[in-house]
Amino acid sequence: MYAEYYGLHETPFSLTPDTSYFFMHQGQREALNTLRVALEQGEGLLKIVGEVGTGKTLLCRKLLASLGSGFHTAYLPNPALPPTVLRRALAKELGIDVSRVRDQHWLTQQIHERLIELAGSGLRVVLLVDEAQAMSEESLEALRLLTNLETEKTKLLQIVLFGQPELDHKLDNPALRQVKQRIAFSCRLQPMAVDEIAGYISHRLLVAGYQGGPLFIGPAIRAIHRSTRGVPRLINLICNKALLLAYGKGDCVVRRKYVREAVLDTEGARRAGRAWLTWSAGAAALCSLAGAGVWGLLP
């Protein structure tokens, strides 16, 4: 709605994990560097854990896009699969014709032979598993067994698990102690600091085509930090709604009052004490703006 008004060619705060909007804040930098070093060293099983909305999927896709020609990558976005289906999905990612599958032993042998073939071509095979907290214990154990596929000197398959903190709780189960002991590197994805949020917002606006002066003023950015605790998904939600409110008022900048109104309409955002209650009318205003399409509301 507001894109043309602010000189944007697209909405800058979409929740879609678009790698062109990837912003290298400290938490992402530490996680990405850990992964790159571990993968170059040939470690078998790696883990990245982060709270909901901290950018795990975007980091996963950034890693996919940044690995060089020396890697062959496989990606499982939805690993809530039984072990038999999980192996088929991996085989398909490796280019194996799964329509000819006879049994699980045959499929595992085909995966092994394909990994040897890729290694012989000088390629390291990396499997990236998103939403790993959704995996069953049996499927996690199946992944561990796949990391046993190796030559005398190197692992034939490296696996990176991306998951919510529930993944750590699951791995604390004694039944999964062998999986936990195989994790060579682990990193927890941290949210952004207040100074990083300003850079994050500016970066996304720039990618979306914005060429004007500061659009989010200081008090608004501090209010965003307080209400989101630096979680990117919440930042995107609130920034999008605050821009919509500013547009509806015909304002050229996003002020703290628009952020406060957006917070009231955002599940999971932190509301700072009784002062926020004075803005309760803002949530209704935001709904009205969205429902009316905003078009007739500019002065």
Confidence of residue 68 (pLDDT cuts 50, 70, 90): confident
**What pLDDT sits at residue 27?**
93
- Check whether 150 has a pLDDT greater than 90: no
User: What's the average model confidence in pLDDT over 261-275?
Assistant: 76
Q: What is the pLDDT of residue 60?
A: 95
Name the CATH topology of 194-292: Helicase, Ruva Protein; domain 3 (1.10.8)
Beta-carbon contacts of residue 294 (< 8 Å; ≥ 6 apart): 1, 2, 244, 247, 248
pTM: predicted TM-score of the whole model, two decimal places: 0.87
Partners of 126 in beta bridges = 73, 158
Q: Which fold has domain 26-189?
A: Rossmann fold (3.40.50)
pLDDT at 277: 40
CA-nearest of 194, 192, 38, 206 to 124 is 38
Residue 31 C-beta-side C-alpha neighbours within 13 Å: 28
Question: What are the CA-CA distances from residue 78 to residues 132, 180, 230 (Å)?
Answer: 8, 21, 26
Give the Cα separation of 266 and 144 in Å (integer).
Answer: 39
Q: What dihedral angle (degrees, nearest 10) is formed by the CA atoms of 250, 252, 258, 259?
A: 150
Per residue in 107-147, pLDDT (tens digit) is: 999 999 999 999 999 999 999 999 999 999 999 999 999 99
Domain ranges of the chain: 26-189, 194-292
